[in-house]
Structure 1
Amino acid sequence: MWKPLVFILTSFTVHMSEAYRILLISQTLSKSHAILAEGLIKHLTDAGHEITYIQTIPPEKPLPRVTVVDISGILPRRDDFFHTKSIFEKRLNSLNLMTGFMPDILQRSRLIIEHPNIQKLIADNNQHFDVVISEFMFNTIHAGFAGLYNCPLIWFSPSNLNWMVFDLIDEATNPAYSVDAVSSSTLPLTFRERVAELGLHIIKRIVVMLWTTIVDNAVYEKNFAPLIRERRNIAPSFESLAYNGSLVLSNSHPSMSGAVRAPQNFISIGGFHIDRNVKPLTEDLQKLMDDAKHGVIYFSLGSNLKSKHLPNEIKRDLLSMFGKLKQTVVWKFEEDLPERPTNVHTVPWAPQQSILAHNNCILFITHGGLLSITETIHFGVPIIGIPAFYDQYANVQRAVNMGYAKKVDLSYAMTQDLEFAIQDMLADSKYTTRAKELSEIYHDRTVPPEKELVHWVEHVIKTRGAPHLRSPAFIMPWYQKFYLDLAFVALVLIFILKKTLLITIGIKKTIGKQKKT
C-alpha cells in the first residue's frame, strides 16, 4: 500500500519543482575551466534544470538535459604557449595579463559573439532563458546575453579573489589589505607591497577604462544592441548591463585564500567540482598504491603543461632522483618513459582525485593550478609547488605561507631543489598536519558547495535578480561615497558666511565713521 503512495508523492514533488532554462558561457581554452563548467552543469541538471552550454571545449560525451553550442576552433589552441620547455625561458606574470592574455581574451570574446552558431542562437526569437551564468575572465561582454534575454546575470569567477571580481557587484577592494589575482604577497602587506599592489591596481583600472570597456562596448553595439531594439525598442547601455550582475559564484574558500571583505551576493563555492563519491582506481593502480608501504608521491604538471615536453636532461635527472627514494612515485606522463626505476610508475592520464583520496598518498608535486590546490586541501595532502605561469605563482606562494607547502622554481636546476624539498617534507610532519587542519576547515560548512551553488542560482531566478542582496555601496554615486556633495555644501556655506561677515564688518565701519562725523 505504501509504495503507490510514495510514487504519487514523488511524482507530485517533481511536478511542483520548477525546471529553469539556464544559459552557461565558458570561454577559456583550458581543460581545467571546462572541468569547472561541467561541474556547474552536473549539479544544476541534477536539480532538474536545462542548460544551454556555450563552450570552446565541448564535452567528450553527451550530457543529459544539456544543449551544447559548439564554438570550438574559434582560435587555434596555442600549444607553443603551454609548451613546458618554453616556460623555462619566460614567466607569465601580471603585466603579461595585459600584454599577452588580455589581447587574446578580447579577441576570443569578439570571435565567440561573431561565431555562426552564436549568431544563430541570438537571432532566434523563440529562445528564452531564466538566467545567464557567464565565466568572468577580465571582460564583461557576455553581459549582453542577459540584456538580450531580459533575465538576471550571474558571474562565475574561476580564479583567485581579486578587485576586478568585486568591482562587478560592489566596490573594488582596497589594495592596502587585498592582493591582485596573480600577486604572491600575503597579509599584512609591507609598505613596499602596498605600493606595488596600488600601482598594479591603478594600471589595470586604466586598462579597463581605456581599452577593454571600449572594445566590449563596440562588440555589444554591433551584435546585441540591434537585436534588443528589435524586441524591446530600447537597448540599455552596455555599462548598465555589465554592472547589473545579481551575484558572483566564486571558486574560492577561506581555507585556500584566506578571509576577504565581501558583500552578501558574493558566494564561495570552492570545491564544487570534486566528486563526493570518489571513483575507484583501476585495478593495477589500486594494487600499486595499496602495496606502497612507504607511501606514494604523486607528480603531475596539470592538463596544459606536458611532462613529456620537459627538456631531456630534466627528465633524466628526475628519474635518477626519484629512483633514490623508498617511496613509490606515480608520475602523470603523456607517453611511455623507458628505463624507469622500479619505484617510478607513469600513467598517461591520472585520476587525480582518486589518487589524492588514497590513504597512502603522502605528497603531491603539482604545478599549482587552482583546481589542484582545491583538491589537495579537500583531501588534506601537503604539496610541493612548481609554478609555471599566471596565478600558479600566487597559488603556490599562498600555500607556502599557509604552512602546507614548499616551492621549487621551474628551472634547469630544479631536480636538486626538488630532492631537498621532498626530503624536508618527508622528515617533518608539520606539513601534513597543517594540510589536515585546513582540510577540516574546508569541510566544516553548513552545506556542501554544490548545494550552495544550486540554491543561489534558483534564488536569483525566483527573486528576479535578487536585488535585496545587492550592496548599497554599489548603487551610490562615487561623489556621495567621498562626501564631495557635503564638502561642496560646506564650501558654499563658508563662502556665504565669509561674505556675510565682510558685509557686516563693512556696515559697522560705515556706521562708526558716521557717528564720529
Structure 2
Amino acid sequence: MRLTAILILLMAWCCAGYRILVVFPLAGGRSHSILGEGVVRHLLAAGHDVTYITGIPSKLSAPRLRQIDVSANSWIFKPEDLCDIDKILTHGREIFFDYTIARQQLKLNNYTATHKDVQKLMLDPKEEFDLVVIEWLFNEFLVGLSSVFNCPFIWLSSLEPHGLVLSLIDEWTDPSYVPAVHSKAVPPFTFAQRISELWAVFTQKYVRWQLISEEQVLFDRVFGPAVAMRGRQLPLLEDMKYHASLILGNSHVAVGHPTKLPPSYVPIAGYHIQDKPLPEDLQKIMDNAKNGVIYFSMGSMIQSKRMSESLKQGLLAMLGSLRQTVIWKLEETPENVPKNVHIVSFAPQQSILAHQNCVLFITHGGLLSTNEALHFAVPILGVPAFADQFQNVNRAVQKGIASQVSLSYDLPRELKVAIEEMIGNPKYREKVKELSFIYHDRRAPGSELVHWAEHVVRTRGAPHLRSAALLVPWYQKMYLDLLALVFVLVLSSVFVIRRLLSKNIDVNKKNR
C-alpha cells in the first residue's frame, strides 16, 4: 500500500501542469485577442494552470484559468483612429514603425503593468510562475514580469519574422532581401527598394534608441519594488529584453517568404484555428448556394459601416449583380440589400471559409485572414488598408493565390472586374490547394506551441538555443575592428616607407 501511494504521488507530481502567465494586453485589436486566446486554450488543454492578462477577456471558462482584465487601457489605442475606412479614402493612411507607434505601445504596456490587479499579482510573494508568454508588439517593456517571477519568458509575434523581432533572439535581418515590418515590398527588391529597406533599418534602430532612457526609468519604477521585495535586483531592460528563450511566430513559409531563422524562432501559424459548426442560418445559406459563396470581410479592426453611404450602395449594387451568394460582414444593415447578399454583423470566419461552397474571400489582408484562407484553401481578393496588410496581400499575389484591388471610391467597379477574373480562372484555386497542402504538411501548430512552452520550462529557459550573435558587438559582426586594424597597418606601412624614402633622399643629397 505504501509503495502504491508513493507511485501515485510520483505520477501526480510528474503530470502536474506548469503555472504559466500569458500576456496579451491590447484592448483595441480583436485579432490579437484571438491569438492570445489560442495560446490559453492549448495550454489549458495540456493541463497547465494559466493566468491570462488580457485587454479583451475571453469567454473561456476552466478551473485552471484565471483572467486579469486590463481592458481599461482601451483609451490608448482606438481602432477608429487608425482604421477608419472613410478617413483612409479621404486622406490616405500608411502606418510605419515610428516614434508615435513606439511611444503608444510603451504607454499601453506601462498602463498594463501599473494596473491595480497586475500590481497586486506582482506584489504578492505567494505568486509564482514557471513561464511567461508575452505578445511582442513594438515594445519589450513587459519583460519585467519575467524578472519579477524569476522565470523564463517567450515572445509571441503576431507578424511575419522581421528585423525588429528577430534581433531580440539573434540578429537583424538582411534588408537586401527581407522587408521591414510595415514595408509594401516583396523580394526580390529593385535597387530603389533595397535603399528604402536599408533606410528603414536605420530609422527603426533610431526610434528604439530614442526611448531607451525613458523606458528604463519607467521599468525601474514599475518592476523594481516587486523584484526588491523578493530579495533580488532588477536587471537593465536593455539587457533583459534579449534573454527570451524563444519566439513563437504567427507565420509559415507557405504564406510568407523563406527567411533565415535561428532555432529559437518557431513558426506556428494557424494555431488559433478551430473546427466549429456554422450557425444554422448560415449553414442553410451556404448549403443552398448553387454558384458558390463569396465571403467579404474587412476584419475586426476596420468597421465597414464607416464607409460613405454612396460607397456602400455602390458595393451592394455590384454584389447584387453577381451569380454567387455573398456573405458580407457589415456592422449595420443598410437599405436596398439584394437577395443574393446576406449581411452579418459578426461572422464566424473560419467556419465560413471551411465550407466547401466558399469560392472566394474578399479581405483586408490581415495575417490571420490570409493564414485562414490558406488553411481552408480559399483564393484571396485583397483590399489592403494599412500596416502589414499591403505586404501580406502582395506576397499572396506573388504566390499566385490572390489578386489585389486598391481601397478607393472606385472600389465597386474594380472589385467586379477582379471577382469575374478570379472566379473564371481556375489557376487561383489550383495554386491555393497546392500551397495549402504545404501549409498542412507539418506537426499541428497547437502541439508545437505546447511542446516548446514545456521544453523551455523543462530545460530551465532553453539556454542551449541562445544565439551567439547576441554576445557579439555590432562592430565585430561588421568586422569594423578588423577594418580598423588593416587601416592602421596600411597607414603605418605608408608612414614607415615614406620615412625610409625620405632618409634615403637625404643621404643621397649629402653624398652629392
Q: Is this contact kept in 1: 2:102–2:207, CA < 8 A?
A: no
* Secondary structure at 2:269 match in 1: coil
Per the normalisation by structure 2, the TM-score is: 0.91
Q: Which residue does the alignment assign to 2:4?
A: none
1:331 aligns with 2:332: no
Q: Which residue does the alignment assign to 2:38?
A: 39
Per-residue CA distance 1:113-156 (angstroms, 9 max, x = gap): 22111221211111111111111111110111111111112111
Q: Which residue does the alignment assign to 1:215?
A: 214
In 2, Cα distance between equivalents of 1:362 and 1:109: 41
* Secondary structure at 2:98 match in 1: helix
* Secondary structure at 1:44 match in 2: helix
Matches for 1:32-431 after TM superposition, within 5 Å: 32-76=31-75, 78=78, 80-81=80-81, 82-95=83-96, 97-98=97-98, 100-211=100-211, 213-275=212-274, 278-431=275-428
* Secondary structure at 2:87 match in 1: helix
Per-residue CA distance 1:426-463 (angstroms, 9 max, x = gap): 11111111111110110011x11111111111111111
Q: Is this contact kept in 2: 1:141–1:216, CA < 8 A?
A: yes
Q: Report the identity percentage.
A: 41
| CA shift in 2, pair 1:501/1:453, >3 Å | same
| CA shift in 2, pair 1:308/1:119, >3 Å | same
Q: How far is the alpha carbon of 1:484 from its aligned partner?
A: 3.8
Q: How far is the alpha carbon of 1:480 from its aligned partner?
A: 2.8
* Secondary structure at 1:206 match in 2: helix
Q: Is this contact kept in 1: 2:80–2:302, CA < 8 A?
A: no
* Secondary structure at 1:293 match in 2: coil
In 2, Cα distance between equivalents of 1:298 and 1:382: 11
Q: How far is the alpha carbon of 1:226 from its aligned partner?
A: 3.5
In 2, Cα distance between equivalents of 1:316 and 1:501: 83
* Secondary structure at 1:80 match in 2: helix
Per-residue CA distance 1:82-109 (angstroms, 9 max, x = gap): 33322322443244x3254333212212
Q: Is this contact kept in 2: 1:45–1:64, CA < 8 A?
A: no
Q: Is this contact kept in 2: 1:176–1:197, CA < 8 A?
A: yes
Per the normalisation by structure 1, the TM-score is: 0.91
Q: Is this contact kept in 2: 1:185–1:193, CA < 8 A?
A: yes
Q: How far is the alpha carbon of 1:164 from its aligned partner?
A: 0.3
Q: Which residue does the alignment assign to 2:474?
A: 478
The runs of 5 or more residues in structure 2 that have no matched partner are: 1-6
| CA shift in 2, pair 1:457/1:512, >3 Å | same
Q: Is this contact kept in 2: 1:269–1:449, CA < 8 A?
A: yes
Q: Is this contact kept in 2: 1:332–1:346, CA < 8 A?
A: yes
Greater shift in the superposed pair: 453-462 or 12-21: 12-21
In 1, Cα distance between equivalents of 2:133 and 2:387: 24
In 1, Cα distance between equivalents of 2:503 and 2:415: 87
| CA shift in 2, pair 1:236/1:422, >3 Å | same
In 2, Cα distance between equivalents of 1:334 and 1:231: 49
Q: Counterpart of 2:84 in structure 1: which amino acid?
A: H
In 2, Cα distance between equivalents of 1:439 and 1:10: 45
In 2, Cα distance between equivalents of 1:304 and 1:484: 45
Per-residue CA distance 1:398-433 (angstroms, 9 max, x = gap): 211111111111221100000001011111111111
Aligned residues: 504
| CA shift in 2, pair 1:231/1:318, >3 Å | same
* Secondary structure at 1:142 match in 2: helix
Q: Which residue does the alignment assign to 1:455?
A: 451
Greater shift in the superposed pair: 505-514 or 30-39: 505-514
**Runs ≥4 residues deviating over 4 A:** 9-15, 487-514
Per-residue CA distance 1:29-83 (angstroms, 9 max, x = gap): 2111000000000111111111111111111353441111111112426253233
Q: Is this contact kept in 2: 1:26–1:135, CA < 8 A?
A: yes
| CA shift in 2, pair 1:474/1:233, >3 Å | closer
Q: Counterpart of 1:450 in structure 2: which amino acid?
A: G
Q: How far is the alpha carbon of 1:503 from its aligned partner?
A: 9.1
Q: Counterpart of 1:370 in structure 2: which amino acid?
A: L
| CA shift in 2, pair 1:236/1:11, >3 Å | closer
Q: Is this contact kept in 1: 2:303–2:331, CA < 8 A?
A: yes
RMSD: 2.7
The runs of 5 or more residues in structure 1 that have no matched partner are: 1-8
Q: How far is the alpha carbon of 1:297 from its aligned partner?
A: 0.6
* Secondary structure at 2:294 match in 1: strand
Q: Is this contact kept in 2: 1:184–1:398, CA < 8 A?
A: no
* Secondary structure at 1:89 match in 2: helix
Q: Is this contact kept in 1: 2:106–2:141, CA < 8 A?
A: no
Q: Counterpart of 1:234 in structure 2: which amino acid?
A: Q
Q: Which residue does the alignment assign to 1:6?
A: none
Per-residue CA distance 1:164-219 (angstroms, 9 max, x = gap): 011100110110110012112111111000001111111111011122x3332121
In 2, Cα distance between equivalents of 1:36 and 1:258: 21
In 2, Cα distance between equivalents of 1:223 and 1:70: 18
Q: Is this contact kept in 1: 2:325–2:341, CA < 8 A?
A: yes
In 1, Cα distance between equivalents of 2:499 and 2:315: 88
Q: Counterpart of 1:363 in structure 2: which amino acid?
A: L
Q: Which residue does the alignment assign to 2:3?
A: none
Greater shift in the superposed pair: 498-507 or 27-36: 498-507
Greater shift in the superposed pair: 463-472 or 412-421: 463-472
In 1, Cα distance between equivalents of 2:220 and 2:155: 21
